[in-house]
Structure formats: structure tokens, C-alpha cells
Amino acid sequence: MLAIEGPPAGNADGYTDTEQLTQIMQQPRVVTGISTAPDAQASGATPLVRAHGVTLQYKTPDHLVTATYRVSFDIFPGERYVILGPSGCGKSTILKAIAGFLKPVEGSFTLKGKPVTGPGPDRLMVFQEFDQLLPWKTVLGNVMFPMLENGVSRADSERRAREALTKVNLGDFVDVYPHMLSGGMKQRCAIARAMAMKPDVLMMDEPYAALDALTRRKMQDELLQLWNDIRFTLVFVTHSIEEAVILGSRILVLSPHPGQVRAELNSPGFAYDARSGAAFHELVQKISFMLFGDRGGSH
Ligand SMILES: Nc1ncnc2c1ncn2[C@@H]1O[C@H](COP(=O)(O)OP(=O)(O)OP(=O)(O)O)[C@@H](O)[C@H]1O
Ligand SMILES: [Mg+2]
């Protein structure tokens, strides 16, 4: 099922052709190779993460900054949920709030039906690959490290670390050091480290923003492959429309500051070959129009 929710009342500027967009989204899948997430929405499953009318603010000595205004969305198990919007629209703030570091001034976040009241190992952020692995520890040591810090016994940490590393296809690299890994392998290691903690949801905040185009593409494909292999729930933040369309099974489009929901739409999943195709470009263009109106542009 493909669905698009229209913009909330009073938030319709620049988004006028829902019908046309719906048609594009309802075209048959263009490629195979990237499976879509299970259609949990249709089955009426409980959302893993629910944002209900969430307004997030920062209070500084001089200002009150409203980062998001009455944002609602549901994230279901196994989704690749992308939060897309221009710089300053509150994407990182939403992740901070899901992680429990920031409380909404209005509305609520729930995780598996329970209110989010603070941080917990059930929601983990995977940071950019090059600033997170400890260079003096082996791959195994890196994956064990947060578990040991959280009071898991050495034996259990090692067992869980080896399991997670096998899942991400790094079973043969447990004894090597991060500098000996490719960028993609570092990403796998970082995800294994998070997965070993058995979180409900993994979050990534613009992890590829600083990478060159080729490396970025490689990392995106690695991430999709990994998701195909192990099906975790991913919340991915980006301000790149192309990246959102490539990576997302569902995309939340936020308006510029303060972030409000402009639309939520399904992406059919575009494998590498299909990214030069018409359907891909049409979808990118449509989202671009939604965000920027006549001005176009993808960022
Ligand atoms: N610690 C803070 N104190 C005050 N204002 C903040 C703070 N962090 C963010 N903001 C403001 O909140 C708004 C949303 O910021 P946020 O970082 O969530 O945006 P973003 O969508 O992640 O942007 P980007 O794409 O540039 O990372 C912005 O106006 C920003 O200036
Ligand atoms: Mg940000």
C-alpha cells in the first residue's frame, strides 16, 4: 500500500499537487533488489515509535526557539524511516527527542506504546563512522566496549559481539583494528556495536554529509544491503532529497523552520541501476517542488 498524507491545515504552501504525486507513488516498483519494509501500517500493528503533536523548543537566555511544531508520525518495526527537510527544520532535534534528551513542550513520544521519559539503550544513535570506533581497540573490542560499560559480563559481551559481527559479515575481522577496515566495513562495525546492545531502533543523523559523492553512494548501498540482511528499524535524517529517496522506505517531509509535517510518503526502493531512471528523478523533483516550490533544488 502506498499512501501520502496531505499537509496539515495551514501548512499547504508550496505543496499543491498531492494527486499527481500520489500517482507517481502508486506506480509499480521500478526495481527489485531492495525490499520494502513489511506493511505494518496496513496490518494495524503498534508503532515502535509514535510522535503525537510534538512541539520542541529550545530556551536560551535571549530567545525561545521553536524547532518543530505539532509534528506527528509513526515508525513501524523494520522500516527505514527517513526524516527529510532543509537545514534548521528540526531533524536533529527530533532525533534528540526520540533518544530522550529533550522533552516536548507539547505532544508526546512513545516507544512501543510507553512514554519516552529519558535516554535508554533501546534507542541508539550510530554516529559518523570515522569519529566513533576506538582506534586502539580491535573490532571485537570496539563492539564489546559499550556492553562492558553498561555492566554486561565479559563472557556475555563477547558472545553478543561475535554474534552481531557475524550478522554484519565481519565475523572474519574480529581481531583487526579499525584503520584496517574500509569505510563500509567501519559502518558495519559501528552498526554491529549498536545492534549488540539490542536496541529497538537505530538512528543516524546525516552520517554521510561530509563524504564525497562516490563514497557516499557506496555507504548508502552498504547500508541498504545490511538492512536487507538483518532488517533493523532505522531512523535516518538527511537534507538530501536523493538520499531520502534512495534510503527510505518511508519519508517524512518537513517544512522549513519551524519544522512541520508537509507530507509523508512511501518510497518504492531504488536499487543502484534505477537511480538514473525516470521514476527516480520524477520522485526527487516532486519532493523538491514540495519543499521549494518553483525554485527547485535538492538541498
Ligand atoms: N542547543 C540549541 N539551542 C538553541 N537553539 C537550537 C539548539 N539546537 C538547535 N537549535 C535551533 O533549533 C532549530 C532546529 O535545529 P536542528 O539542529 O534540529 O535542525 P536540523 O534540521 O537538524 O538542521 P541541519 O540540517 O542543519 O542539521 C534551529 O533553528 C536551530 O538553530
Ligand atoms: Mg541536524
**DSSP letter for each residue of 172-233:** GGTTS-GGGS-HHHHHHHHHHHHHTT--SEEEEESTTTTS-HHHHHHHHHHHHHHHHHH---
117 phi-psi bin (left φ>0, alpha ψ -120 to 50, beta other)? alpha
Q: Does residue 200 have a pLDDT over 60?
A: yes
26 pLDDT higher than 50? no
Mutate to test the pocket of ligand 1, among 60, 65, 83, 235 (most ligand atoms within 8 A of CB): 65
Provide the pLDDT confidence category of residue 283 given band limits of 50, 70 and 90.
Answer: very high
Distance 97 CA to ligand 1 centre (A): 12
Stretch 8-36: mean pLDDT:
34
Please tell me the predicted confidence (pLDDT) of residue 118: 95
| Residue 1 in this model has a pLDDT that exceeds 90 | no
Is CATH 3.40.50.300 correct for 1-122+201-299?
yes
> What is the distance in A from the centroid of ligand 1 to the CA of 92?
7
What is the model's pLDDT at position 131? 63
Calculate mean pLDDT across residues 57-72. 96
Closest ligand 1 atom, residue 85 Cα: 21
pLDDT at position 209 over 70: yes
For residue 42, pLDDT beyond 80 = no
102: CA distance to ligand 2 center in Å?
A: 14
Q: At residue 40, does pLDDT exceed 80?
A: no
- Percentage of residues in the chain having pLDDT higher than 70: 82
| Global pTM value | 0.84
Distances (CA, A) of 106 to 9, 48, 103, 166, 180: 18, 20, 9, 43, 47
Average pLDDT over residues 216-230: 89
pLDDT digit string (tens) for 228-256? 988 999 999 999 999 999 999 999 999 99
**Which cell is 160 given?**
553478543
Task: Round the average pLDDT of the chain to a whole number and report it.
Answer: 84
Q: How confident is the model at residue 92 (pLDDT cuts 50, 70, 90)?
A: very high
Average pLDDT over residues 43-47: 76
pLDDT at position 5:
32
Ligand 1 centre distance from Cα of residue 165 (Å)? 34
Give residue 129's pLDDT.
Answer: 53
Ligand 1 binding residues, C-beta < 6 A: 58, 60, 65, 67, 85, 87-93, 239, 257
Q: What does the alpha-carbon distance between residue 240 and residue 278 come to, in Å, rounded to a whole number?
A: 18
Q: What are the extents of the domains in the chain?
A: 1-122+201-299, 130-198
The pLDDT of residue 295: 54
86 CA → ligand 1 middle, Å: 11
- Nearest atom in ligand 1 to 86's CA: 25
Query: Residues 3, 4, 6, 7: is their CA dihedral positive or negative?
Result: positive
Q: How confident is the model at residue 276 (pLDDT cuts 50, 70, 90)?
A: confident
Least confident of 83-92, 144-153, 183-192: 183-192
The pLDDT of residue 35 is 46
Nearest atom in ligand 1 to the alpha carbon of residue 257 is 29
